[in-house]
Amino acid sequence: MDWQKLTTIEQLQSLKEESKTQPVLIFKHSIRCSISSMALSRLEREWSEELNKITPYYLDLITYRQISNAVETEFGVYHESPQMIVLNGGEVVFDASHMSISTEPLKKWA
């Protein structure tokens, strides 16, 4: 799994455009939350080569909370932490939070 860092609000438009040619995953992570750490670990353990068609982006909620707020505004997905959001065709096609986060639903877009 090759995480790309989501560190600027401007990247959101790029991600939206990128998702028109290949699916994009945004993982919103809080380093202060043990459930978030467990969800991140599960995602990384379950990630397989077949999912490499999906570009995963990592958002550190503590450092970049304003980007998380912009994700909620731009894509209309209520903020959760941890949270996994999938963009395809320029729009949100899936989201999950907490212990619902896994790679199984991602196979649909791989």
As a whole number of angstroms, the distance between CA 94 and CA 73 comes to 16
Domain that holds residue 82: 4-109
The strand pairing partners of 84, in sequence order, are 27, 96
- The SS3 of residue 56 is strand
Q: Tell how strand 55-60 and strand 83-88 pair up.
A: unpaired
Q: How many domains does the chain have?
A: 1
Q: Using one digit for the tens of pLDDT, what is the confidence trace for 57-109?
A: 999 999 999 999 999 999 999 888 999 999 999 999 999 999 999 999 999 99
3-29 mean pLDDT: 96
Q: What is the CATH number for 58? A: 3.40.30.10
Alpha helix stretches (DSSP H) within the chain: 11-18, 34-46, 65-75
Its pTM surpasses 0.85: yes
As a whole number of angstroms, the distance between CA 70 and CA 81 comes to 15
- Cα radius of gyration rounded to whole Å, the chain: 13
Q: Where are the beta strands (DSSP E) in 20-68?
A: 24-29, 55-60
